[in-house]
Amino acid sequence: MRIGPYVLSSPVVLAPMAGVTDRPFRILCRKLGAGLAASEMLIADQRLWHTAKSRRRMDHEGEPEPRVVQLAGSEPASLAEAARANVALGAQIIDINMGCPAKKVCGKACGSALLKDEELVARLLEAAVDAVDVPVTLKIRTGWDAQNRNGVRIAQIAEAAGIQALAVHGRTREDFYTGDAEYDTIRAIKSAVTIPVFANGDIDEPRKARDVLDFTRADGVMIGRGAHGAPWIFRAVNSHLRPNSSSLTAEKSSDPLSREEVRAIILAHLEALYAFYGEDTGVRIARKHLGWYFASLSDSATVRASLMAPATTALQFAAAKGHLDGWVEDEATRCDVRVA
C-alpha cells in the first residue's frame, strides 16, 4: 500500500490513542510490524503547545519513517498553520482527527463533532492539504449517530479535498466504544472512493483482521485497543495475512512468541518509558501498560496489584522483572499471550 511517496511495510497500522500511543509505544509497535503509528492527537491551537504533554507529543526522535502527526481542530487557518509547523518539525504525514468521541473534544467542535458539518469538513481538509507538501490523511467514524451515518459522503468529500488515505472506525460518535463495531458502512465507503481505506474497530486477533478485510474490501486494518498489553498483535496479524494477486489471505500464523521474547519486549518497553518520561511520570505511565500486559499473562489479580504499588522506577522494574522471571521459569503454566 502506498500513501503519497511512502510504501508501507504492512497494511496493519496502529490507531492513534491519547494517553497510549506515545513515542515509546509507537516505536515498539513499529518494531513488531505496524506499518504506521500515528502520534497522540495534538490540538491545532499552537497556544496550547507549551505544556510538557504537548512537547512530548511532538517528539519523534528515533522514530522510523514515515512519521505521522495527528491534529485536531475546527478552524481552517489554525489547522493549516499547525500542519505546516509539524512538517517543519519532521512530520512526514499529517493525519486529521474527525473520529474522537470524547466530550471535551466534541465540545470544542473538534473530533467526531465535525461530522455534523460537511461544509466545514471540506474547508478544513482543503486548508490542511493546501498548506503542506506531505500526504494528509483522515480518521473518521461512520457518523454522529445512527440517524446521521454519513461516512460515505464524508469520505467522498475527503477524497475530493486531496486526502490520500482514510481510516474509519465502525461506530458512530453516539456509540463511543459500546456494542459491536459495524462494517457495512466501511464496506460502502471503500466502494465509493479510490483512496486507501483502513478498517478500524474491534480487531483484536488475526482471524478477525482477515474477516474484516474480506468483508469490507478495505486496503488495511487499524488496530487500537487490541494492542493494549499485546503490541505483538501486529506481528501475528502480518503473519496471518498473506498477499496474493487478488486479496489478503491467510494460510497460517507465525509461531507464538516464546516467554523469553515476551519478557524482553515488556522490560524493554518499561526502560523506554522511564527514559522518555523520567522518574515520576514514568512510573505512572508504566502502571497502565503493566496492567494491560499482566492481564493477558496472568490470572492473578494479586500479581497485577503488586505492580501498581512501587513508587520508583527501580522498584517497579524489579517487581515486573521478578514476576516475569517466575512466569518464564514456570513451564507448566500455559501461555495465553495473544500472539497468534
- DSSP letter at 255 equals P
Q: What span, in angstroms and rounded, lies between the C-alpha atoms of 332 and 325?
A: 14
Please tell me whether residues 183 and 223 are part of one structural domain.
Answer: yes
Q: What is the pTM of this model?
A: 0.91
Report whether pLDDT(338) > 90. Answer: no
Q: Is residue 338 part of a domain?
A: no
Please tell me whether residues 155 and 290 are part of one structural domain.
Answer: no
The tens digit of pLDDT for each residue in 19-76 reads 999 999 999 999 999 999 999 999 998 888 888 888 888 888 999 999 999 999 999 9
What pLDDT score does 333 carry? 52
Nearest to 161 by CA among 195, 112, 190: 195
Please tell me whether residues 70 and 112 are part of one structural domain.
Answer: yes
Please tell me whether residues 241 and 279 are part of one structural domain.
Answer: no
Please tell me whether residues 242 and 265 are part of one structural domain.
Answer: no
Selecting among 29, 100, 106, 110, the annotated active-site residue is 100
What pLDDT score does 302 carry? 82
**Total domains, the chain:** 2
C-alpha cell at 245: 494477486
H or E element at residue 43 = strand 42-43
Report whether pLDDT(171) > 50. Answer: yes
C-alpha cell at 25: 509505544
Domain range spanning residue 274?
259-329
Please tell me whether residues 229 and 308 are part of one structural domain.
Answer: no
25-41 CB burial, b ≥16 within 10 A, e <16: bbbbbbebbbbbbbbbb
The tens digit of pLDDT for each residue in 123-146 reads 999 999 999 999 999 999 999 988
Catalytic annotation on 100? yes
The tens digit of pLDDT for each residue in 172-188 reads 998 889 999 999 999 99
